[in-house]
Amino acid sequence: MFDFKKVSSRPTSNLLGSEKEIIYPARVIKSMMDPTSQPEVFKNLGEYQSIGGVFYASINKPNPQPSFTSDNFATPLFPNMSNIPLDNEIIYIINLPSTNIQTNVNSIVPYYFQPINIWNSIHHNAVPDPLGPPEGGAQSGDYTQIEGGLSRQVIDGGTEITLGKTFTEKIDTRKLQPFEGDIIYEGRWGQSVRFTSTISGSFVPNPWSNAGENGDPLTILRNGQHVEDKDPWIPQVEDINTDPSSIYLTSTQLIPISAASTSYKSYSQPPITPNEYDGEQIILNSGRLLLNSKSDSILLSANTTINLNSVDSVNIDTNTVAIKASKVALGDKNASEPIILGDKFLEDFSELCQDLNSVAVALQSGVASALPENPPLLSLISPVVALANSSGNMLSKIKQYKSTVTTTK
């Protein structure tokens, strides 16, 4: 049974219903990522129950010496959605019931909302502490441009501000260009999930609205973004051909994908090419695709055809390859030469060899006995001997002509 009393030893307050219930902003000092983040207080904060929490400080009071205690520690407000703040990002703190609510209904602890979107950036929204020691650096002016009504526009490699232990700013990480009605989720490094639709007539064009009607649904999952020769603060639209990895779930959209190979010479009636199909489909595009079933089968099923298309080769490595079909054409779709049935052919061929061998042996014996009286038969000796030897040799190897790998019906 889960022991609720051992979940956390964080101190609580009896302030429910007081002014401390107000939501207030705070600056992130450090996030608790593992036992080494702040080992001296890790145990006091409930050990692994504290992972994902943050130490914070007031944004309107000087903080010359950061404090790492349970008094300024908050855990995520939402249990099933994590957005770990970076150092110096601004969050909202709210005081809500703690684990001690079983014994004290007024017991509260701080929780935090996800970072505030100060710079309207998917990458980071950290801002230097104006009341703390200056971090300096050539980019210190980046963060004051907003006072003049400007957006933060870094162009020379990032800023000298503490963001965390491993996080390094990448100034070319772009946010997605939104379209009317979109719901978009974006990571800090160019990952995104867009719930969108066909949107024709938009001021900013997109590559999926050349077919269908406005409002036809489309879902795009993308990992990484393509490189553009534009200022990094200009939003970007997905490009299935140049984004590192993508999954598109379409309804009526025409997706301009450039397939690696589009040779359909094996077809009498080729399928619609990938960049011309505007029906419901799922498109996966990346540098490499791996489909792996670790405990059962991979089943490919199609209402019309299944096409395997490769620039170099199609290789199959397995113990058994079984093909059940009314017709198998090898080499060309119009192949008409039938394949010989091995067992039947070799059975008849064996009988022929036996007959030839019998004739050759008989001739060899007859010719030899008739030579003194009939010298012209001398010319038959050599071919008769050869026929006897070759037919006998083929009979002895008859089973070796059978393939041990390939069979046919």
Average pLDDT over residues 169-189: 94
Bigger pLDDT: 138 or 354? Answer: 354
**So what's the pLDDT on residue 183?**
97
Apex CA 212: angle with CA 280 and CA 304, to 5°? 30
Average pLDDT over residues 103-128: 91
**So what's the pLDDT on residue 331?**
86
361: nearest Cα among 342, 387, 335: 387
Per-residue pLDDT of 39-67, as tens digits, reads 888 888 888 989 999 999 988 887 778 88
- Domain boundary (318, 351, 377) is at 318
Q: What is the enclosing helix (H) or strand (E) of 228?
A: none
Residues 15 and 148 in one domain: yes
Judge residue 12's burial from the number of C-beta atoms within 10 Å of its C-beta, 0-12 exposed, 13-18 middle, 19 or more buried.
Answer: buried
**So what's the pLDDT on residue 317?**
93
In a domain, 225, yes or no: yes
What share of the chain in percent tops pLDDT 70? 83
**So what's the pLDDT on residue 366?**
66
For residue 189, the enclosing domain spans 172-318
Residues 249 and 312 in one domain: yes
Per-residue pLDDT of 356-385, as tens digits, reads 777 777 766 666 665 566 566 566 667 767
Average pLDDT over residues 196-225: 95
C-beta of residue 216 within 8 angstroms of C-beta of residue 206: no
- Domain boundary (168, 201, 218) is at 168
**So what's the pLDDT on residue 383?**
74
Q: Which residues pair with 91 in a beta bridge?
A: 26
Q: Does the pLDDT at position 7 exceed 60?
A: no
Q: Does the pLDDT at position 138 exceed 50?
A: no
**So what's the pLDDT on residue 89?**
95
Residues 160 and 180 in one domain: no
Residues 280 and 362 in one domain: no
Distance CA 124, CA 121 (A): 6
In a domain, 329, yes or no: no
Average pLDDT over residues 119-139: 75
Average pLDDT over residues 162-181: 91
- Domain boundary (149, 168, 187) is at 168
Bigger pLDDT: 160 or 16? Answer: 160
Residues 55 and 111 in one domain: yes
Bigger pLDDT: 393 or 229? Answer: 229
Residues 292 and 178 in one domain: yes
Residues 232 and 295 in one domain: yes
The structural domain count of the chain equals 3
Mean pLDDT of the chain: 84
Among 41-50, 307-316, 320-329, 375-384, the range with the most confident prediction by mean pLDDT is 307-316
pLDDT band at 341 (very low <50, low <70, confident <90, very high): confident
Q: Among 130-139, 192-201, 282-291, 309-318, whose mean pLDDT is lowest?
A: 130-139
**So what's the pLDDT on residue 398?**
77
Bigger pLDDT: 119 or 365? Answer: 119
In a domain, 385, yes or no: yes
Residues 188 and 280 in one domain: yes
Would strands 73-76 and 108-112 be described as parallel, antiparallel, or unpaired? parallel
In a domain, 336, yes or no: no
Residues 11 and 119 in one domain: yes
Residues 124 and 195 in one domain: no
What 8-state DSSP symbol labels residue 313?
-
In a domain, 408, yes or no: no
* pTM tops 0.75: yes
In a domain, 364, yes or no: yes
In a domain, 161, yes or no: yes
Per-residue pLDDT of 248-265, as tens digits, reads 999 999 999 999 999 999
Residues 258 and 347 in one domain: no
Average pLDDT over residues 305-324: 92
In a domain, 324, yes or no: no
DSSP for 87-121, written as a single string: TTBEEEEEEEE-GGGGT-TT-EEEEEPPPP-TT--
**So what's the pLDDT on residue 401?**
77
Residues 209 and 182 in one domain: yes
Q: Does the pLDDT at position 70 exceed 50?
A: yes
pLDDT band at 326 (very low <50, low <70, confident <90, very high): confident
- Helices 381-396 and 342-370, axial angle in degrees (round to 10): 150
